[in-house]
A and B are shown apart, each in its own frame.
Chain A
């Protein structure tokens, strides 16, 4: 699916993560930027979670920024799902 708008979900709090999504022109591909306090220990697993969910929503042309302060996997998934749905316009919330 193609993101309609920029969106965000999450907070900068400890044990949380904030996702920012912005649509890119067609055929741009994915650009994923990850800042994390636990990047050394969980960087690869974090990336896997993000890629799987983007695949699930068939989002290909997207710029995604994540700032993670040690969120657990269910938190990461919930925040990302919300950000995706907001960008698709199927979930209302903070729109930037």
Chain B
């Protein structure tokens, strides 16, 4: 069957179930209540002063009742510094547990060591926001029989409380915790800031283990994670390398091209009609989008505009803007560098939020619904403004859905900022390889050689034209770029589906097909 974007979606996939095709960004939400019920975790009882402390992660896992076919979940707040995910899966592997469903809020390069577990039947299913590096390549090549399911951060929350993802064991790394399992990421030697993605796991998993390298006297504050959901507590030497949480997509660019794009994006925002006192703002962490914050900060100072709140992945730039008094509040679901933890701990206007409050579409309103302006990146964007942030130009899975579609759906102004081509590959396509974010939720594309406004938003285009910005039709831009790079030959795929991309409401927006492996060498 075709979904509303004209993507072919199977009706049923073995191991995943019946698929519901995407029908529009807000179609499913319009009636105001959802057919899907909430599937809660079982009720439990602990006796007064019962001991939750285990001597080792092995013991805690053993006590949680591991079994074949179980679902294990993790959060990715330690990003590329995390060691608990790999360690836990290695323990389960050594116990002989098979057919595991891995449900991590994301997977990053540091998780590559689990690759052998995909090959030997230890892990047979994956739910994640992102997959990269060796794992992304292996998935694209068809390492798993059952396709991986890509979820947005908001969609993941929905998936868990509606029981689409039923977690047997959640392993929660925390940089500080007490003996009862109250825990936080805001303090300690491995501090990583907000623990927002883990909150839903803690509430809905059948068993929850808190792992910390910093056992503090009771009570551990702030109460980011609370003891009433925690079964076991483990102290280990280290939960990971907190200095690595700022690697990956969180680097602030010094590339002249990205800075040019960022500057143009800031001019777009300034002249959009949404750059007004009390506006709310979110920037993604990749390439040019992070640099936009820098230019917006200058413009806010020059024009004496004060905003309402900053949302999302929080960087030290956001903290600086809060401290400058440019914004009233930060809502922090994920923190990108070390100084953010200090702010989260010490500034009461810097508020840690769970992923449900951040972006879940199935509740009485998440904060992304209140968002005015968001700046996002793209691996590809097409002439219908559909955005791909999951599959790379070489066909591998190499990105993350993250909050991309959640924020785009909520914001009054969604700006996609990216170069028009990278390493000879055009970024603007006739049709993106994989849709993550539908074009109807994207307002404007900013590239170094022109700005394209979604034709559905005439007033925005008028505002930007009046400001003298270089506005082009996206079709013309696409042709212009093709003339520079040459038209690339298409990649080749098989019929096998290796990935299912869920939209935030649980409908399927696209699928990823298995890539035919080709060498990068040829002798003529």
Write the residues of chain A forming the contact surface with B, with a CB cutoff of 8 angstroms: 14-15, 30-45, 47, 69-73
Contact = CB atoms under 8 A, between A and B. Distances in A.
Contacts of B425: 38, 41, 70
B interface SS class? loop
Contacts of B488: 38, 41-42
Given A33-B523, A34-B522, A35-B521, A69 B423 contact: yes
Contacts of B217: none
Contacts of A30: 524
Interface of B: 393-395, 422-425, 484-486, 488-492, 518-524
A19 B425 CA distance: 21
B394 to A, nearest CB: 7
Contacts of A38: 393, 423-425, 488
A73 to B, nearest CB: 6
16 contacts: A31-B523, A32-B523, A33-B521, A35-B520, A37-B394, A38-B393, A39-B519, A39-B520, A40-B489, A40-B491, A41-B424, A41-B488, A41-B491, A42-B424, A42-B489, A70-B423
B523 A45 contact: no
Contacts of A42: 424, 486, 488-489
Given A34-B524, A47-B524, A40 B394 contact: yes
A34 to B, nearest CB: 5
A45 B485 CA distance: 11
A38 B426 CA distance: 11
B259 to A, nearest CB: 17
Most chain B CB within a 10 A radius of its CB, from A14, A15, A35, A38: A38
A72 B524 contact: no
A38 B490 CA distance: 11
Given A15-B424, A70-B424, A70-B425, A37 B520 contact: yes
A73 B485 CA distance: 7
Contact of A14 (B423, B485, B519): B423
A15 B257 CA distance: 13
B47 to A, nearest CB: 61
Given A15-B423, A40-B489, 11 more contacts: A15-B424, A33-B522, A37-B394, A39-B518, A39-B522, A40-B492, A41-B424, A43-B522, A70-B423, A70-B425, A72-B424
Contacts of B523: 31-34
B137 to A, nearest CB: 14
Most chain-B CB neighbours within 10 Å: which of A44, A45, A71?
Answer: A45
Contacts of B521: 33-35, 39
B486 A73 contact: yes
Contact of B524 (A32, A35, A69, A73): A32
A30 B524 CA distance: 8
Contacts of B492: 40
Nearest to B522: A34
Nearest to B485: A72
